[in-house]
Chains A and B, each alone.
Chain A
Amino acid sequence: MNPKRTMTLNLTDQEMSVLEELSTQKDLSKTALLRQALRLYQMVDSRISRGEKLFFEDSEKQKAELMVL
């Protein structure tokens, strides 16, 4: 296993509430959820840096671009 480092996170009440809600929803610990978030961010960023674009498509097949920097 990779050695891990500890970090303290200061979150607002609202942020903490979202974190807890998502953790429950996804059946994940808060740490695991934040880890997923970081992976997703890096993956999206990596592809956008390569010139790709990220879109959301609604139920009517309308595409809206999601800008992530």
Chain B
Amino acid sequence: MKFNADRKWLERRAEQEDRHLISVGGLISSLDPNCEAEMNTVPKIESTKTAFVRLLQLARRERRLTLERLAEKADVDLAELLKIETDEAFTPSLRTVHQLAAFLDLPAKKLMVLAGLLRVKDPNLQQASVRFAARSEPIGSVSPEEHAALEEYVKFLNER
């Protein structure tokens, strides 16, 4: 790749760039000016949200269910399930989380906190969630390590 070595070219491009926010997607986005709440709670939501998604994925894979089958069995909207798994910023509906909790035999209130529907200051939950998310993988068959991680996390959620 041969980049332009002309300093004047660079100066001109830099000057143009300085006058705008040119990031496409990413951290800089001017789509939502009302994200004050998001800005303040973002770090907390992240770890538990990831754990929520991973929990769902692992639980689904343990039962060898496709998204479609899970949607059918849990009586939830397939499109919403897909969004949960692929869009980290997406917050599922109260009913969906409730249905999933029932089907997967998990404490509903806990699941709602994880999904971002309820705000609770719980550093233990966060820590456990980060550990769980780090120990699990989104695709493929469930490994013994993942199985152990899932069991441990579910036990933790049910205990308190």
Contacts and interface: CB of A to CB of B under 8 A. Distances in A.
A50 B138 CA distance: 9
B139 A49 contact: yes
Interface residues of B, number: 7
A50 B139 contact: yes
A52 B139 contact: no
B70 to A, nearest CB: 10
B66 interface: yes
Contacts of B86: 52
Contacts of B85: 51
B148 interface: no
* Chain A interface bracket (under 10, 10 to 19, 20 to 34, 35 or more): under 10
Contacts, number: 8
Nearest to A46: B139
Contacts of B138: 50
Contacts of A49: 139
A48 B89 CA distance: 22
Of A49, A50, A51, A52, most buried by chain B (CB within 10 Å of CB) is A51
A3 B114 CA distance: 46
Contacts of A52: 82, 86
Interface in B37-70: 66-67
A53 to B, nearest CB: 9
Contacts of A51: 66-67, 85
Contacts of B139: 49-50
Nearest to B1: A1
Nearest to B85: A51
Given A50-B139, A51-B67, A52-B82, 5 more contacts: A49-B139, A50-B138, A51-B66, A51-B85, A52-B86
Q: Which 8 A-B pairs have the closest CB atoms?
A: A51-B67, A51-B66, A50-B139, A49-B139, A52-B82, A51-B85, A50-B138, A52-B86
7 contacts: A50-B138, A50-B139, A51-B66, A51-B67, A51-B85, A52-B82, A52-B86
